[in-house]
């Protein structure tokens, strides 16, 4: 299973944003929508072996939305329809237990530190000055943590360090999170192709 965790530092936790101006009204939920596209979208379908956790911090208390490829439905590649799916999820009365919004989309309160996926698998934290992803032989069950345009904060970094996260970089240029996810998926595709899809 490929897991992506993206921190949306200002991303709204309510459905009160406009689909006509996503970047300007949602705390840059557009960035997270593009990450969802990069995580799942293939030419003729979606990746079933992917989950993405969007940590939304633009409210009083954080919320996390999880999209799971195994049962994900209604995902189109464009930003607006993804934002509409997130809007629907954020309209639910969230508790600290995962609750289904539409097929494959789940929401709860709580943030990064409470994600079980950070406890189990190999953790990679994407940062510009990290070791080259291509040298890491990534594969198998792995979790990749990325920040939005504001990165992640010092507390997050301390948490990731305490969990033994490896700091990796996707290449020499400074890239948005969604482009990093494309590069990570490609690296994992190549590893799996070499291993013959164990």
Binding footprint of its own copies on the chain (CB under 8 A): 19-23, 30-31, 34, 37-38, 41-44, 76-81, 149, 170-176, 179, 182-183, 185-186, 189-190, 192-193
Shortest distance in whole angstroms from residue 146 CB to its own copies: 12
Residue 48 CA to residue 10 CA, distance in Å, equals 29
Shortest distance in whole angstroms from residue 79 CB to its own copies: 5
Give the side-chain half-sphere CA count within 13 A for 170. 21
Shortest distance in whole angstroms from residue 74 CB to its own copies: 13
For residue 146, with 0-12 CB atoms within 10 Å meaning exposed, 13-18 middle and 19 or more buried, which class applies? buried
Nearest residue (CB) to its own copies, 34 versus 68: 34
Shortest distance in whole angstroms from residue 18 CB to its own copies: 11
CA angle, residues 47, 121, 13, in degrees to nearest 5 = 65
Nearest residue (CB) to its own copies, 11 versus 182: 182
Other beta carbons within 10 angstroms of residue 192's beta carbon come to: 15
Shortest distance in whole angstroms from residue 185 CB to its own copies: 7
Taken as a whole, the chain contains a residue count of 198
Nearest residue (CB) to its own copies, 28 versus 51: 28
Three-state DSSP state, 45? strand
Q: How far is residue 99 CA from its own chain's centroid?
A: 18
Residue 151 CA to residue 47 CA, distance in Å, equals 26
Nearest residue (CB) to its own copies, 73 versus 195: 195
Nearest residue (CB) to its own copies, 35 versus 112: 35
């Amino acid at each position: 299973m490929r897991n992506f965790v993206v921190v949306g530092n200002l991303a709204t936790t309510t459905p009160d944003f406009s689909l006509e101006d996503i970047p300007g009204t949602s705390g840059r939920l557009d960035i997270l929508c593009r990450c969802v596209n990069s995580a799942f979208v293939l030419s003729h379908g979606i990746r079933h072996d992917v989950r993405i956790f969007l940590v939304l911090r633009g409210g009083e208390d954080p919320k996390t939305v999880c999209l799971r490829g195994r049962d994900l439905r209604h995902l189109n590649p464009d930003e607006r329809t993804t934002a509409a799916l997130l809007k629907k999820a954020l309209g639910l009365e969230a508790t600290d237990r995962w609750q289904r919004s539409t097929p494959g989309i789940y929401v709860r309160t709580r943030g990064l530190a409470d994600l079980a996926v950070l406890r189990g698998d190999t953790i990679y934290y994407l940062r510009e000055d990290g070791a080259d992803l291509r040298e890491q032989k990534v594969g198998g069950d792995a979790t990749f943590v990325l920040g939005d345009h504001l990165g992640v904060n010092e507390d997050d970094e301390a948490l990731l360090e305490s969990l033994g996260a490896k700091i990796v970089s996707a290449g020499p240029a400074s890239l948005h999170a969604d482009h990093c996810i494309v590069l990570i998926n490609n690296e994992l595709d190549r590893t799996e192709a070499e291993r013959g899809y164990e």
